[in-house]
A and B are shown apart, each in its own frame.
Chain A
Amino acid sequence: MGHGKYIAPQKGKYQVAAGETLELQFVVLPGESEDIDVSVDLTGPGAEVHLKGLYLCGADEKVNFRILVHHLAPGCHSTQLFNGIAGGAAQVSFHGTIVVAPDAQKTEAYQENHNIVLTERAKVETRPQLEIYADDVKCSHGATVGQLSEDERFYMRSRGIPDAQARRLQMLSFLSPVIPAGREAEIEQALEKLQGE
């Protein structure tokens, strides 16, 4: 792992049985390239999985997410929220797939992936995918790639917050739904590092 780069949970394959809930949180901080491959099978009725991810990538790092959530049984619920920031000349890809099997009626599946690109050299590719073979389901996905809002930053600066600090606050704001409790200070330090690039 090195540099405490990303902490639990792990890449790999997971199965969630009837009535159980799995929650995974991914944190990727600047320092290394990483491939994160995760597949989750919801195998029994009422199974749930909730995935959250935060990634900060700089330098010439390559970070790739491949996330597969497979709804195999009826009445299962899955959520995914991945927010990340790419600076330097980082290359990030997010491939997220939700598959809803023919038997998996009453499925609820949601996926969101939002990205901020800090430099012209940084690249983000996001590809959310839904494959639905059942007819009574609630599914949605959304993906965005954008930049820090100038209006928001001007509001902060007009209150006296210096530009660099305002940018960090904006990034913290953007990441806030996916920051694990108690790790705010660590994330803020990582943002400072990313800003230096």
Chain B
Amino acid sequence: MLEIRNLHASVEGKEILKGLDLKVGPGEVHALMGPNGAGKSTLAAVLTGRPGYEVTEGTVLYKGQDLLKMTPEERAWAGLFLSFQYPVEIPGVTITAFMKAAVNAKRKAAGEPELKAAEFLKLMKEKMALVQMKADFAKREVNVGFSGGEKKRNEIFQMALLEPSFALLDETDSGLDVDALKIVADGVNALRSPERSAIIVTHYHKLLEYVQPDFVHVLKEGRIVKTGGRELVDAIEAKGFDQF
């Protein structure tokens, strides 16, 4: 599904990723943990094509394609989704208008007809229920006046609507209370299938109690320094990242 080889990447001339290797197979959920500044968000940015990040070495294959050559929208059409650590506010654009544009762009790229208004609204309702959004949510402006928890639930809502084959969750759990965390986790679990994969970037163990990862990686100074299973989460919880 995703194969990262010897990835080096810089931001403003400073090298953040220093030879990262990672392989994610179909249906697998990988947790990526590490201290601040380890490169977790940089990896998410590079994989989704955020401007300002320069890849200086290495390759990323996604479903056999050279991911780094694709535009951000092409990556989305190919099934990649990033849940933003800091979702962006878009005043004057409703969630409905925003997501209708997104869903239909993806359908168009796949050669499918655009959804009719009624079909789209039905789909929206279904996915809103998944993240327990109230009816007025559809008419609200994207992330404007949202609480921290609502912003993250909105990310999961968008993910549910776009049904990506590869989800990257960048600290989706940070700043969430237990109830919101549970809603987010349920949303992620609802999408789990043998064809869909995910990387969950997190500082904390809490989300990983609800969403069980198949593999856990420790990222430090731009490289993966340790890979294991669930037990790694407990080790980090007990002794921190200094042990690696």
> Within the complex, which residue of B49, B50, B93, B99 is in contact with A172, where a contact is CB–CB below 8 Å?
B93
Contact check, A172 vs B92: say whether CB atoms are below 8 A apart: yes
Contact check, B93 vs A160: say whether CB atoms are below 8 A apart: no
| B197: min CB distance to chain A, Å | 17
Contact check, B93 vs A173: say whether CB atoms are below 8 A apart: yes
- Bound CA span A163–B74, Å: 10
- Bound CA span A174–B98, Å: 14
Q: Contacts of B105 on A, CB cut-off 8 Å? A: 160-162, 165
Contact check, A154 vs B101: say whether CB atoms are below 8 A apart: no
Q: Contacts of A161 on B, CB cut-off 8 Å? A: 73, 98, 101-102, 105
Contact check, A175 vs B90: say whether CB atoms are below 8 A apart: no
- Bound CA span A157–B48, Å: 10
Contact check, B76 vs A154: say whether CB atoms are below 8 A apart: no
Interface flags for B65-99 (1: CB within 8 Å of A; 0: not) read 00000011101110001101001101111000111
Size category of the A interface is 20 to 34
Output the nearest chain A residue to B107 by Cβ-Cβ distance: A160
Interface residues of A in 101-152 (CB under 8 A from B): 150-152
Contact check, A174 vs B87: say whether CB atoms are below 8 A apart: no
Contact check, B90 vs A157: say whether CB atoms are below 8 A apart: no
> Within the complex, which residue of B73, B91, B97, B158 is in contact with A157, where a contact is CB–CB below 8 Å?
B73
Output the nearest chain B residue to A168 by Cβ-Cβ distance: B101
> Within the complex, which residue of A159, A163, A172, A177 is in contact with B102, where a contact is CB–CB below 8 Å?
A159
> Within the complex, which residue of B73, B87, B90 is in contact with A160, where a contact is CB–CB below 8 Å?
B73
A156 at the interface (CB under 8 A from B): yes
A14 at the interface (CB under 8 A from B): no
Interface flags for B175-195 (1: CB within 8 Å of A; 0: not) read 000000000000000000000
Contact check, B98 vs A156: say whether CB atoms are below 8 A apart: yes
Contact check, B91 vs A160: say whether CB atoms are below 8 A apart: no
Q: Contacts of A158 on B, CB cut-off 8 Å? A: 48-50, 72-73, 75-76, 81-82, 84
- Bound CA span A176–B91, Å: 8
* In the complex with contacts A160-B76, A161-B102, A169-B98, A155-B71 CB distance below 8 A: no
- Bound CA span A150–B51, Å: 8
Contact check, A157 vs B71: say whether CB atoms are below 8 A apart: yes
Contact check, A159 vs B98: say whether CB atoms are below 8 A apart: yes
Q: 7 A-B residue contacts at CB 8 Å? A: A150-B51, A152-B88, A156-B90, A160-B73, A163-B71, A163-B73, A169-B90
Q: Which residues of A come within 8 Å of B, CB atoms?
A: 150-152, 154-163, 165, 169-170, 172-177
Q: Which residues of B come within 8 Å of A, CB atoms?
A: 48-52, 71-73, 75-77, 81-82, 84, 87-88, 90-93, 97-99, 101-103, 105-106, 109, 158, 162
10 further A-B contacts with Cβ under 8 Å, apart from A159-B162, A161-B98, are: A154-B72, A155-B88, A157-B72, A158-B49, A158-B73, A158-B75, A160-B102, A160-B103, A162-B73, A176-B91
